[in-house]
Structures are given as C-alpha cells and as structure tokens.
Amino acid sequence: MVNAGTGKHRRRATIREVAQLAGVSVGTVSHVLTSSKAVSESSRAAVLKAVEKLNYQPNSLARSLIARRSRVQREDQTERPRLVTVGYLSIDYMVHLDHAPQSGDRVTSKSIEKMLGGPAANVAAFAAGLGKPFELNVEIVTHFGSDADSLWALEELERQKIDTSSARQQPNERLSRCIVLVEGDGQRTIINEPLTVPVEFLARHLEGRVTGLAPVCVHFDGFHKDVAFRVKNALQAEGYLLSIHAAGLPASSQSIEGAAELIQSFDLVFLDSRCFSQICATSPELSQQPEHIFNSASSPRCRAVIVTRGAKGAMLLRPGHAPLILHAQATKVIDATGAGDAFVGLFLGSWLAQDDLEAALGHAVRGASLSLMALGAQGRLAVAADVMTPFERGMAGTASRD
C-alpha cells in the first residue's frame, strides 16, 4: 500500500487512524462506511476525505474481498495444516482491581482496558502467531455485528493473519462483550454475553473442505459442545480432526460419564484443573492414576487429554502412557485471563505442524507462561522462538541454512 502524499510503502491504515484524522469517533466512521446510522454532512465529508487520504480499505466489512483473499490464501497454502476455531469472538473490558468487590460496593479500578478476546479468537491468535516452523492456516467461525467494535476486531484478526471469511455478520447487531475483573494476584472473574454459532452455518461452511495430506482440525470452545456433537459425525467422515476445551463446558460434562463422552468423540480434549477435579470427584481413582480416564470410554477416539493447571503448568494424558507433567515458568502472574486459550492455541499449532504431543506440551507450557505475565488474553502472544528449546532453535537454524 502507498501512503498518500509521500509515495512510501506503509502498513494498511486502520479505522482508528481514519477517525483520528477526521476528528470523529470510531463509531462515526463505522456509521459512514456501513450507512447504519445517519451522521452530519460535515462529519461524513471529513470521514470520506480521511478515507481517501489514507487509502483506507475496510476489508473487514467488504465480504467479497475477504472471501477472495481467503480463497487465494488457501490456493497458495494448501499444503499447510489448517486450524478452524469455532466459538466466541468478543470485546473484553479488562477491569484491574486490588480485590473483587462485594455486593453493594463502589470501587475505583486501577485501569479499564479494551482488548480483543473470546476463546475462539484467543486460540486462533496464539496458533497463528507462532510462525516458522509452525506455519499453518488459521480461520475462525464466529459472529460479529455491524458496529465499530466489530470492524476493529476483524481488522485485528486480519492483522494477525487469521482468515475471517468464515465469520458471519449480523446486520444491526454489535459484537459480543465480556467484562473481566482482574485482581492483584492474577485471579479473575469473567462475565460474558451469550453467543451461539448456528449448526447449519458451520456445517455448510466446512462441507467438503478437507483436501491434500496436511491435517485439518476443527476446535470448539466448551460453550459450543452441543453444536460440536451435532456435526461431529459429518466432520469426521470428511476427514477433520476434532478438539474441544473446557471453557464453557456444561456441568453435565464435568463427570466421569461426561468425560467418557468427550473421549469417545474428540481427538484431543483440553480440561482445566477445576473441570478435571470435578471429574475426579466422580471417579476417585483418577486422583492417583489420572491416565485411567481413558478406561471410562468403551471405544476411545481421543489421542490425548491435556489438563491445564494455570501457574502450575499442564499434564499430558495418553492411553498406555504414564502422565507427563511440565511446570509453568511464569515469574509473576499478572493476569490468568485466556491462559488456557493461549495454551490450547500453542499446543494445537505445534501439534498440527509437527505431530509430536510431547513437544507440543513443552511449547504450550512455555508460551502460556508468558501470557500469564501480561494483562489480557492476548496481551502477550508468543512466537516460535519463545516456545522452542535452545536445541530446537539450533536445529531450526541449521535447517534454514541448509
């Protein structure tokens, strides 16, 4: 892209830069671009002038351009593994407090930050952010609206090289919102709005999409477990791998019977420590021999159950293997929001690229440890150099020179 008036190449302008140059709010820019609300003629003229000067291209709402871009990406990168995340995309309002308030309290926060979030978006961002040697195509199946937050969120996803052509726009609606209360010790309380990806939309989008030899995985957050179960047979018949993680899993899944259902249905299952503790409470032997969780299913499809343990790291469980536990490396926990999502995205990115569960565990633990030391789910996105061991980095350097 060429910057008007300078002839110099620069990155694509954002909606915030258009708003700043025009002297209006981001919402006003969105209303002008989408014709979703009347604005004054002077504001409209200022916005259009800024759009022209910055050569702003609102690809996030130009669905035909996004679809065309995504098709080109798929044609050029068909040999890469693919990860499709299904579920929440939201705006997170991060409220930083010393302690969570009691009922009736009025408190002043240290800060209130607005960030991109949602389990599906977080998983996609961490997987896409790894880079070489873990390159893969990442796309998200979700909902967004026609408001300024939706436009900004889709621009951020595009910047992170996440394919948004699978995202479904809901006219005259806004992006889902989430309030996260972050306490001084890193604990958090999350309040999110409901969001459901329609089964028909998901099935139609994914039908016949598995081509080539590279693995393709569809990952569901727990909020969409019912959706996953309605399409899993068709997706598996198409050749998709399936994974799910604990965020939003219903209480019925947090028992040994619920675990058996997941193990029979998904290739990878990610559980957080609280969910796993609930399962152990219904089957006490798992506290001493957690690998016996696979005995609960008569015909297990699952290759691994991974239990995330926050600042304590994670545990890898596989049929016929002793548990493998790796400890986190966070020196100070600032915010645990999205740490489980970070772990899942990094694990899936590594596993799909290299087909090594133990290596993926190490990569995910190291990368998720970094996310604990920053505010917000995507406050610190790890790259390959952050998660690889010195030996792996040396081998990758040798391979690139060869």
| Domain ranges for the chain | 1-58, 74-401
Q: Is the dihedral of CA 143, 146, 149, 151 positive or negative?
A: positive
Which tokens is 117 given? 């979030």
3-state SS assignment for residue 150: helix
Please say if the pLDDT value at position 5 is more than 60.
Answer: no
What is the per-residue pLDDT for 303? 95
What is the per-residue pLDDT for 9? 44
Which tokens is 125 given? 């961002």
395's enclosing H/E stretch is helix 390-401
What is the per-residue pLDDT for 133? 92
Please say if the pLDDT value at position 334 is more than 80.
Answer: no
Which tokens is 151 given? 């436009």
Going through 201-331 in order, the beta strands assigned E by DSSP cover 216-221, 241-245, 268-272, 304-308, 314-317, 324-326
| Phi, psi for 4 (deg, rounded to 5) | -55, 130
> pTM of the predicted model, to two decimals?
0.80
3-state SS assignment for residue 359: helix
Topology annotation, domain 1-58: 434 Repressor (Amino-terminal Domain) (1.10.260)
∠ at Cα 276 (345, 299), nearest 5°? 85
Equal fold, 1-58 vs 74-401: no
Please say if the pLDDT value at position 98 is more than 70.
Answer: yes
> Residue with structure tokens 């080539």?
212
pLDDT tens-digit profile of 10-48? 566 777 788 889 888 776 777 677 665 667 888 889 988
pLDDT tens-digit profile of 169-208? 887 888 999 998 988 877 788 898 988 898 888 888 888 7
∠ at Cα 170 (169, 173), nearest 5°? 130
Please say if the pLDDT value at position 61 is more than 50.
Answer: no
Residue 246 contacts by C-beta under 8 Å, 6 or more apart in sequence?
A: 222, 270, 271, 272, 274, 275, 308, 340
Residue type, 219: H
Report whether CATH 3.40.1190.20 matches the domain 74-401: yes
Residue 192 contacts by C-beta under 8 Å, 6 or more apart in sequence?
A: 88, 90, 176, 177, 178, 179
Query: Where is average pLDDT lowest: 69-73, 105-109, 127-131?
Result: 69-73
What is the per-residue pLDDT for 335? 66
Query: Where is average pLDDT lowest: 9-13, 132-136, 224-228, 230-234?
Result: 9-13
Please say if the pLDDT value at position 52 is more than 70.
Answer: yes
Which tokens is 233 given? 């047979």
